[in-house]
Amino acid sequence: MRSQSCVPLGCDLRKVAPIKPKDGVARQPPFQQTYTVGKVLGKGGFGTVYAGVRNRDRLPVAVKHVLKRSVASWGLLNFQRVPLEVILLKDVQHIPGVVKCLDWYERQDSFILVLERPDNCIDLFDYISERGALEERVARSFFKQAATTACRPPPGHWAILLYDMVCGNIPFEEDHQIIRAQPSFRGSQSAEVRDLIRRCLGHPA
């Protein structure tokens, strides 16, 4: 990770000018030397994702630009405060099927995450929006890929995944709950689901 110069709020990464020192000689920051940013792939509350390439080998990448004011959850990585997303990505880099985080940069008001961009891929929501309901054969293939990847992490990760699938968020509200693996149930989950999540987190029934 390298600290970078400020990108103005709402700025298009493709239009960020090189830093100009006091001597007037333009010197590009490391990010712009290393990557070329292309078209927008997606935009939302999470930030903006661009297509890009790594200059030294033309590797396709996805460049995610997230404003600090939009980050909902934070954590510490090497004693530095970073979005929790960075920490979670680093934690699962060894798992096949998980998108790899190749690099990340901090700027004054934002973070830039550089992720691998596999060929011939599309967001599942966009895929369904464009093509309609999935055929059983296709749905089975997609679910098998997701389940195979999801079953590789330790059991504690299964609990968080299960909670996210059932409730649409993560089972913790405070940092101490994460440290103690104490889930916070905020919905109408059945006793069986709550028991399974607690067991996966290492708590007795």
Most confident region among 12-26, 102-116, 158-172, 177-191 by mean pLDDT: 102-116
pLDDT of amino acid 73: 84
- Could you report the per-residue pLDDT of 27-71, keeping only the tens digit for each? 445 898 899 999 998 887 778 999 999 999 999 999 999 999 988
Q: How far apart are CA 152 and CA 155, in angstroms?
A: 9
Q: Which of 122, 127, 111 is nearest to 48 (CA)?
A: 111
Q: Which of 174, 184, 54, 194 is nearest to 114 (CA)?
A: 54
pLDDT of amino acid 9: 38
pLDDT of amino acid 163: 57
What pLDDT band is residue 201 in, cutting at 50, 70 and 90? low
This prediction has a pTM of 0.63
CATH architecture assignment, domain 2-116: 2-Layer Sandwich (3.30)
Q: In which order are the strands placed within the sheet that holds 35-44?
A: 2-3, 101-106, 110-116, 59-67, 47-54, 35-44
Q: What share of the chain is helix, strand, coil (3-state, %, to 5)?
A: 35, 25, 40
pLDDT of amino acid 56: 93
Q: Which two tokens stand for residue 104?
A: 């990340």
Q: Which two tokens stand for residue 64?
A: 């995610």
- Could you report the per-residue pLDDT of 89-146, keeping only the tens digit for each? 888 888 888 889 999 999 989 999 999 998 877 777 888 899 898 888 888 888 788 7
- The reply, when asked if residue 64 is annotated as ligand binding, is yes
List the beta strands (DSSP E) in 13-109: 35-44, 47-54, 59-67, 74-77, 80-83, 101-106
Q: How far apart are CA 140 and CA 83, in angstroms?
A: 33
Q: Which of 82, 135, 139 is nearest to 105 (CA)?
A: 82
Contact in structure between 34 and 55 (CB atoms under 8 Å): yes
pLDDT of amino acid 105: 92
pLDDT of amino acid 22: 36
Q: For residues 165 and 152, which has the higher predicted lDDT (pLDDT)?
A: 152
pLDDT of amino acid 67: 93
Residue 179 has pLDDT above 50, yes or no: yes
Q: Where are the domains of the chain?
A: 2-116, 124-200
Q: Which two tokens stand for residue 35?
A: 């990557």
